[in-house]
Amino acid sequence: MTRPLDPVDGEAPEPVHGEPPEHTAHAEPAWRPPLPDPPTSSPLPRAPVPPLEPGAPPIALLVDYDGTIAQTDVSDTLMAAFVTGEWEAWVADYDAGRVGSRRLMSWEVGLIDADPDALRAKAAAQPHDPGFVPFAERARAAGIPIEVVSDGFGFFIEPALASLGVGWIPVVTAATTFGPGGARIDFPNGNAACFVCGTCKRDRVLAHQAAGRRVVFVGDGESDRYAAGYSDVVFAKHSLEAFCQERGWPYRRWTSFAEIDRWLDAEVATFGSDPGAYPRPVQRPLFCGAEVWGPGRFDPPVPTPPSEGEVPG
C-alpha cells in the first residue's frame, strides 16, 4: 500500500505499512425469516466493453458511485429518508458478508412507495467529489475508457453525471424503474450463474483485462470487494481500505479524486515515454463467483477470518 499523495506538492507516494483502519465487528444478528430469492435473468442487454484502440494507453478506469463519486451512499440515503422498517438490519447483514446485494436490493425496492420525483430530487441534492470531473476529462483526453460501475439502485447516476457535465461516461449498474405497480429492479450486468451481486464488478474487471487493459479501480465500500481482488491498481478508502488491509491486498489510500488525477497524469506520461514497456494486466485466480462457490448462489459463503497476507494471485 502507499500513503496518500501530498496535498501540497503532489509528489508520488512512498510505500508505507500502517495499522488497519478502525472498524467495528458485526454482532451475530437475531434470527429473521430469509429474504425472497431475487430474479436470475434480465431482458435488458449487458453493457459492452470497447476494444483497445491501437496506440491508446492500455488502461481502464472503473469507478464506484455511492460514497466514491457521490460523497454519500445515495441508495442508503434514499432508504433512510423514504422507507421505515427493518431494512437497516438487513443492510448490516450485507455489510458483514452474510446477504447478497441482489437479494437485498430486490427486497428493498418493494419497500419504496415514495413519489419518484421526490426520490430523484433527494438523490440530485447529494454532493459530489469536485475532483472527479477533471479526472474524467483527463482520461477522455488520453483515450482511456472510464466508466461508473455501481452495485446500487442506479437510476440516479446518469442524471447526476449529466448535471456534472460528464454525461458521456458509461454507467454499468442495475435498472430501477417506476410504474403504476411500484418500483422494479433488473440486473442486466449481473453474472449469468452467480446471483450474489446485482452488478458483477468482478466480471467488469475481467472483461477489460481480457481486452488488454490494466484495470484501475476506485472505490470505498463493501460492494467493491470483488472488484478490488482482481484489479491491477486499487484506490481504496473507508471499509474497502479495511477489507484490503485485512487480506494483505495491495492498494493506494485516497481521499479525493485530485490525488488520483495527479497519479493518472503521471501514468499517461510513463506510457507515452515508452509504450512497449508499460505493464500489462495480471490475471489472478478466481476467489468468488460460480466457478468457486458453485452455480445458483444468492448469498456469499459464511465469512471466515482472512489469513494473514492473503493476496489474490
pLDDT tens per residue across span 273-284 = 999 999 999 999
Q: In the CATH scheme, what is the code of domain 59-293?
A: 3.40.50.1000
The pLDDT > 90 percentage for the chain reads 80
C-alpha cell at 185: 429492479
> How far apart are the C-alpha atoms of 241 and 302, rounded to whole Å?
21
Is the confidence at residue 309, as pLDDT, over 80? no
Q: Rg of the chain's alpha carbons, rounded to an integer?
A: 19
Contact by Cβ (8 Å): 173, 150: yes
DSSP 8-state symbol, 86: S
Band of the pLDDT at 23, cuts 50, 70, 90? very low
> What's the whole-number mean pLDDT along residues 10-24?
38
Number of H helices, E strands in the chain: 11, 8
- What are residue 159's phi and psi, to 5 degrees? -60, -35
C-alpha cell at 269: 506520461
E-assigned strands of 140-181? 146-149, 171-172, 175-179
Q: 272: how many CB neighbours lie within 10 A of its CB?
A: 11
E-assigned strands of the chain? 59-63, 146-149, 171-172, 175-179, 182-186, 214-219, 233-236, 252-253
Residue 30 confidence (pLDDT): 67
**Residue 67 falls in which region: left (phi positive, over 0), alpha (psi -120 to 50) or beta:** left
pTM of the model: 0.87
> How far apart are the C-alpha atoms of 231 and 175, rounded to whole Å?
25
Contact by Cβ (8 Å): 99, 107: no
Handedness of CA 138, 228, 248, 257 (dihedral sign): positive
**Could you state, in order of their start, the residue ranges of all structural domains in the chain?**
59-293
Is the confidence at residue 297, as pLDDT, over 90? yes
- In sequence order, which residues have a C-beta less than 8 Å from that of residue 305 and are 6 or more positions away? none
C-alpha cell at 85: 422498517
> How far apart are the C-alpha atoms of 134 and 258, rounded to whole Å?
8
- For the stretch 101-148, pLDDT in tens is 999 999 999 999 999 999 999 999 999 999 999 999 999 999 999 999
